[in-house]
Amino acid sequence: MRKVVKFGGSSLASAEQFKKAGDIIRRDTERRYVVPSAPGKRFDKDTKVTDMLYGCYAKAEEGKDFKADLKAIKDRYQEIISGLQLELSLDEEFKVIEKNFKAKAGEDYAASRGEYLNGIIMAHYLGFEFIDAASVIVFGEDGEFEAEKTNGILAERLGKIEKAVIPGFYGAYEDGRVKTFSRGGSDITGSIVARAVRADVYENWTDVSGFLVADPHIIENPPVIETITYKELRELAYMGAAVLHEDAIFPVRREGIPINIRNTNEPEEEGTWIVESTCQKSKYIITGIAGKRGFCSVNIEKDMMNSEIGFGRKVLQAFEDNGISFEHVPSGIDTMTVFVHQDEFVDKEQKVASAIHRMAGPDAIEIESDLALVAVVGRGMKSTRGTAGRIFSALAHKNVNVRMIDQGSSELNIIIGVSNSDFERAIQAIYEIFVEVQL
């Protein structure tokens, strides 16, 4: 068997955490390819190394003295090296970084050094081969990740190596310039590596024991989801459940490789398994609940809208022309509502409204702000009668006013729109009716 293991920033924030990660890797000889993040927070008010690098590079870009900031970053790494009692010096690496910062090599280059340096330390600590992600993960000139090209390069390279460390979060353009994924992108790197080596399992080690049924900031001690499908995970991750980067699913999904979310601090716990499909039933009717605040609804009214060919296209064209993506579009016979992110929409609302009037000729447009969306997700919902009824009954009992309802054709999820002020109460109500009632 082959296992790819990715460790998050909290799992590698200090020498003590590094030792835990090392013990986990050494305990299983099948854990052959390691993807590290940059060091995260050691304690609550600490600063992540990636944020330190962003701050340091900002000074360099402004022509300010950044040596003290760079030394503070170097000290963080030296603390880990000393704690692990390694014979390793990063002096030459930091000289190169200082030179490239002065040459303004770019914010992506700066941010990537956190993973790069941690990868060097991890490789020395384990005795594995170090592979710079910039040499194997390719981005096109448009900044888009080149999945197939990367898979070919990485598969050929790793096919000759028994054990390796590949830093997460970044790759490079063909000319060698460093390009990063979005924040949390080390999850994506782990998934890319798992696909390239045709891993049996992709283990993602973090500081929680898997995906939780609901946000622990809203619900006290929610249970761990034992098994979740890729589709369910996509829905929950998109709506704010942030244990795993949502784009990390695609490379492994293509190969049917399961992901196992594990806790570095509680390695004996099984965590959550993310799979393509399963015959295992969820413990509850729903798999999970997630949501986001900060949406606007744009309600368009026009008599006989349903008989006007192309009306919806014209409305959505107004959003596209202004660079705004939509989230949901529930509609009726004479009404159509478009949900958008409020922070993207607020400065362009009048331009969009004017464009809708010009292109679609509605009778009226009404804009409502400060809305939240809550997703109730579960593969068990489509085979269970009365799920929607139970949701709305629970919300009514908690005096939550429902502003929008949208259900996908897969019956995998139900999206509910509520006021921002009702957001937490809505999640608590749904959790109580589906989880606490069954406990």
For the stretch 356-394, pLDDT in tens is 999 999 999 999 999 999 999 998 887 788 888 899 999
Residue 4 parent element (H or E): strand 3-7
N-terminal to C-terminal alpha carbon distance within the chain: 37
All residues at 6 or more sequence positions from 187 whose CB lies less than 8 Å from its CB, including other chains? 6, 168, 204, 244, 245, 247, 248
One-letter amino acid of 256: G
For residue 438, the model assigns a pLDDT of 63
Look at domain 288-436 and name its CATH class.
Answer: alpha beta
Per domain, the residue ranges of the chain are 3-275, 288-436
One-letter amino acid of 353: A
CB 207 within 8 A of CB 256: no
pLDDT in tens, 177-203: 999 999 889 999 999 999 999 999 999
Phi first, then psi: what are they for 242, rounded to 5°?
Answer: -110, 30
Residue 439 banded pLDDT, cuts 50, 70, 90: low
CB 300 within 8 A of CB 338: yes
- Predicted TM-score (pTM) of the model is 0.87
Sheet with 364-377, side-by-side order of all strands: 335-341, 288-301, 364-377, 413-419, 404-407
Topology at the third CATH level for domain 3-275: Carbamate kinase (3.40.1160)
All residues at 6 or more sequence positions from 9 whose CB lies less than 8 Å from its CB, including other chains? 37, 38, 39, 40, 41, 48, 49, 50
One-letter amino acid of 419: S
Whether 413 has a pLDDT exceeding 60, the answer reads yes
DSSP secondary structure code for residue 380 in this structure: T
